[in-house]
Amino acid sequence: MAHEASVDSVDAVSDRPAQRSDRHSRAPHGSRAWRNAVFAVFFLSGLSMATWVARIPAIRDFTGLSTQGVGLVILGMSIGSILGLVVAPLLLARWGTRVGEMLTLGIVSVGLLLIGLGGSVTPSVALVVTGLALFGFGNGAVDVIMNVDGAMAEKEIGKTLMPLMHAFFSFGTVAGAGLAVVASAIDLAVIWHFGAVAVLIAIAIVVAVRFVPRDSSSSDAKQADASAPRRPWRERLRESLSVWADSGLLLIGAIMLSMSFAEGSANDWIALAAVDGHGYDQTTGALVFTVFTISMTVARVLGGPVLDRFGRVAVLRVLSATGVVGLGLFIFGTEPWMIVVGTALWAVGCSLGFPVGMSAAADDPHKSAARVSAVAIIGYCAFLAGPPLLGFLGEHFGLLNALLVLMGLMVVAGLLAPAAREKSRRPAA
């Protein structure tokens, strides 16, 4: 596509006036198509996750697993996710975002099919674990790759879009949960449900990646003339790994880790904290979780324009304070309204940490893909490691007391906010 060539050479010619004007005169529909493709990838990833989570009870009953057994099965997915996070930079360096997204979501589809077979056709824990390992690997890798792609698209368009992209992941989870409710209500076998979603994901990703530039993740292609030969992928991988020595990037990663820890812990523990910590019934616990997810989604939909208006540092500081207040109300509140308001503020407080970190990492035009990949790994490690750690602390000190750790992390995120400052807002040297 003509658009692909123009995207590949954007940064390479940024200091040439004639070619710079060509970038601004380019028809915007190509960039919008790229943006929409990234929206679709986020949506499909969220759809797959909700599809699995919503049918866990049915799979548990069919396979006869105990609660502890379900936990061990999920461990297979977690291990796969970690491997996906580790391998993602290699996939990016070797094939770029377009092929990487198609490959990883294809693996997710295969994983869903295997889970469905082992969880509803022939009771096989081994088959379910194998499927979950592939499912986790694909989602772990695509989490990094789609954020790299989103950051590049955001940079090309020149507007803050990462919060909205993450909102599309939430839209995907809502759609997945809704489809699962329908499937369960009509007593649709898990294999048919998972098979339909797997086929949908496989077809949709092939269609969507057509609008992703072939080399949107290769910073070296943007640094030199577009006609220059592309460097070997091993050299690009070494460059990708070298960004881990950047202290400023690690500070951005710390912001993401702090807020992602608060977000991931809420997803797994907030309903249980409402029930065990405050003594509410399970329905109220589910309602509290619903308030959290809705508040998170709304904040991300509205976050882009707010960030463009006030800047990352100011917004992160306000969100940090908001999160601390929300957690305080949730932990120490004694009235139902305090718990609900605290939940909403908690969600808003940690809603933009991950997408802002993605945008901040992409500010460096020379190693943007490598930097985004690195901080994405840091953020997703917090999602994976945070909930188990909070469970360990909750077992020994009580779940509400364990949430005090999140308050401390939100304070850390606010203090480190200047590390995410936009280059255009930094004072001249």
Q: What is the DSSP letter of 27?
A: -
Instruction: Tell me: pLDDT of 7 over 60.
Output: no
Instruction: Tell me: pLDDT of 39 over 90.
Output: yes
- The Cα diameter of the chain in Å comes to 67
pLDDT recorded at residue 361: 82
Matching fold, domains 2-238 and 246-422? yes
Phi, psi angles (nearest 5°) of residue 290? -60, -40
CATH of domain 2-238: 1.20.1250.20
pLDDT recorded at residue 343: 92
Tell me which of 23 and 322 has the higher pLDDT: 322
Instruction: Tell me: pLDDT of 429 over 90.
Output: no
> What is the reported pTM?
0.72
Topology annotation, domain 246-422: Growth Hormone; Chain: A; (1.20.1250)
pLDDT recorded at residue 255: 92
pLDDT recorded at residue 59: 85
Residue holding tokens 């957690």? 327
Mean pLDDT of the chain: 80
Burial of 244 (0-12, 13-18, 19+ CB in 10 A): middle
Give the tens place of pLDDT for each residue, 179-227: 887 888 888 898 999 999 999 999 999 999 888 887 554 444 344 444 4
Three-class HEC string of 195-263: HHHHHHHHHHHHHHHHHCCCCCCCCHHHHCCCCCCCCCHHHHHHHHHHHHHCHHHHHHHHHHHHHHHHH
Rounded to an integer, the average pLDDT of 413-421 is 91
How far is it, in rounded angstroms, from Cα 418 to Cα 422? 9
Contact between 38 and 149 under an 8 Å Cβ cutoff? The reply is yes
Instruction: Tell me: pLDDT of 168 over 80.
Output: yes
pLDDT recorded at residue 17: 36
pLDDT recorded at residue 16: 37
Rounded to an integer, the average pLDDT of 106-111 is 96
**Confidence grade of residue 237 (pLDDT, cut at 50, 70, 90):** low
**Confidence grade of residue 27 (pLDDT, cut at 50, 70, 90):** very low
Tell me what percent of the residues of the chain surpass a pLDDT of 90.
27
User: Per-domain residue ranges for the chain?
Assistant: 2-238, 246-422
Three-class HEC string of 397-426: HCHHHHCHHHHHHHHHHHHCHHHHCCHHHC
Radius of gyration in angstroms for the set of CA atoms belonging to the chain, rounded to a whole number: 22
Torsion, Cα of 84, 90, 95, 99 (10° steps): 10
Question: Which tokens go with 33?
Answer: 């198509």
